[in-house]
């Protein structure tokens, strides 16, 4: 199934895509209160995804159906409890083999916490961060946690994943470079926006792509219709989805609606596109960014103007990082060696 959060103009509600239409899940399940997003559905407990599937099979005629063109899709989870963003693709981690990673990167899946208060959905305009000059995208996949867990083992992890969606981790590279030198993580460089969507595809529907704990799907990115990465393999991750869930839940807690991003797939950032020889550049207002993942769909956003831009603002990056040498990784083909 493909679960969505949709809005007809009266507020967000959880829905399920079927035959180019959106069926209201609150009515479908005769829920006692409005389910305002996919997280609200997952929080019902008692196998809520299976309950939706059973209700669809039963043909509940009381549930309203809306044509896709008559609704606005929003992020499947409007305000995730947490967003943990990992980095499990070696091609991205090593900047296409141009730098070495620490031993710890290979030994365990490493993540940082991103900002759940600035989550956008499909077709939303993304405000250009006013304190940055180097706005980048990151082409990622995310899993959405479906039930609460503590100290979950990798072997059991898929039971805790409700499904997958596309995740765009917007990044201010100039701010990120300054902050990373201090060693506290990406911080403000990752604070302005994340986009999730266009839907949550349930784990069972993506089963044909799941092998060895990895999601073997093709991933592509386009800016203004021009491809900047094509058919990157989502299955070439060093760590598995189960390992990510295990690491997140160890000595901690995962809950319905939590987002676990896999990190940038190989070639899925602008710096990597430049090194591969694409006519890529950092983003500008008006750019239309499309991320496409096999089996999930297309996540599209437009970059909006800077808001409250102040050239004298004091917390800008000290200097702009040098651009990668265009074409320096032309012909580079990643091969995972374990």
- The predicted-structure confidence for 216-259, as pLDDT tens digits, reads as follows 999 999 999 999 999 999 999 999 999 999 999 999 999 999 99
C-alpha span between 206 and 215 (Å, rounded): 8
pLDDT at site 186:
84
pLDDT at site 197:
98
C-alpha span between 241 and 238 (Å, rounded): 10
- Quick one: average pLDDT of 28-38? 96
pLDDT at site 59:
78
- Quick one: average pLDDT of 292-319? 96
Does a cis peptide bond (omega within 30 degrees of 0) precede residue 82? no
Burial of 309 from C-beta contacts in 10 A (0-12 / 13-18 / 19+): exposed
pLDDT at site 170:
98
pLDDT at site 309:
93
Residue 44 has pLDDT above 90, yes or no: yes
Computed over every residue of the chain, the mean pLDDT equals 96
Residue 43 has pLDDT above 80, yes or no: yes
Residue 184 has pLDDT above 90, yes or no: no
For the chain, domains (ranges, CATH) are: 2-74 (no CATH), 83-306 (3.90.850.10)
- Quick one: average pLDDT of 82-91? 98
C-alpha span between 78 and 119 (Å, rounded): 7
Cβ–Cβ under 8 Å, residues 1 and 37:
no
Could you tell me the pTM of the whole model? Answer: 0.97
CA atoms within 13 A on the CB side of 268: 34
pLDDT at site 24:
97
- The predicted-structure confidence for 116-139, as pLDDT tens digits, reads as follows 999 999 999 999 999 999 999 999
- Quick one: average pLDDT of 11-25? 95
Residue 183 has pLDDT above 90, yes or no: no
Give the pLDDT band of residue 185 (cuts 50, 70, 90): confident
Q: Please give the share of the chain, as a percent, with pLDDT higher than 70.
A: 100
Cβ–Cβ under 8 Å, residues 147 and 163:
no
- The predicted-structure confidence for 259-273, as pLDDT tens digits, reads as follows 999 999 999 999 999
pLDDT at site 181:
87
Reference 196, options 39, 28, 31, 11; nearest CA is: 39
- Quick one: average pLDDT of 101-125? 97
Buried b (16+ CB within 10 A) or exposed e, 191-212: bbbbbbbbbbbbbeebeebbee
Residue 61 has pLDDT above 80, yes or no: no
Residue 327 has pLDDT above 80, yes or no: yes
C-alpha span between 206 and 296 (Å, rounded): 8
Residue 60 has pLDDT above 80, yes or no: no
C-alpha span between 235 and 151 (Å, rounded): 25
C-alpha span between 322 and 320 (Å, rounded): 6
């Amino acid at each position: 199934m493909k679960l969505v959060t949709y809005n007809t103009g009266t507020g967000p509600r959880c829905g399920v895509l079927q035959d180019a239409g959106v069926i209201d899940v609150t009515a479908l399940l005769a829920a006692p209160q409005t389910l305002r997003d996919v997280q609200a559905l997952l929080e019902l407990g008692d196998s809520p995804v299976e309950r939706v599937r059973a209700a669809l099979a039963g043909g509940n005629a009381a549930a309203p159906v809306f044509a896709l063109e008559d609704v606005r899709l929003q992020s499947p989870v409007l305000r995730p409890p947490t967003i943990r963003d990992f980095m499990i693709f070696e091609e991205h981690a090593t900047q296409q083999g141009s730098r070495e990673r620490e031993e710890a990167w290979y030994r365990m899946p490493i993540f940082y916490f991103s900002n759940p208060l600035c989550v956008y959905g499909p077709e939303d305009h993304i405000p250009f961060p006013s304190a940055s000059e180097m706005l980048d995208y990151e082409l990622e996949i995310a899993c959405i946690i479906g039930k609460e867990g503590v100290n979950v083992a990798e072997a059991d992890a898929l039971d805790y994943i409700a499904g997958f969606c596309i995740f765009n981790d917007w990044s201010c590279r100039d701010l990120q470079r300054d902050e990373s030198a201090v060693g506290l993580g990406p911080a403000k460089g990752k604070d302005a926006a994340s986009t999730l969507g266009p839907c949550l595809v349930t784990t069972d529907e993506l089963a044909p792509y799941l092998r060895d704990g990895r999601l073997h799907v093709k991933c592509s990115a386009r800016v203004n219709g021009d491809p900047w990465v094509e058919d990157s393999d989502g299955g070439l991750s060093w760590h598995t989805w189960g390992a990510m869930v295990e690491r997140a839940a160890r000595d901690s807690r995962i809950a319905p609606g939590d987002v676990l991003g896999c990190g940038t797939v190989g070639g899925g950032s602008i710096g990597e596109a430049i090194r591969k020889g694409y006519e890529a550049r950092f983003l500008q207002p008006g750019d239309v960014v499309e991320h496409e993942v096999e089996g999930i769909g297309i996540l599209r956003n437009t970059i909006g103007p800077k808001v409250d831009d102040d050239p004298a603002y004091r917390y800008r990056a000290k200097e702009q990082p040098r651009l990668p040498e265009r074409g320096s990784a032309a012909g580079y083909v990643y091969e995972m060696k374990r």
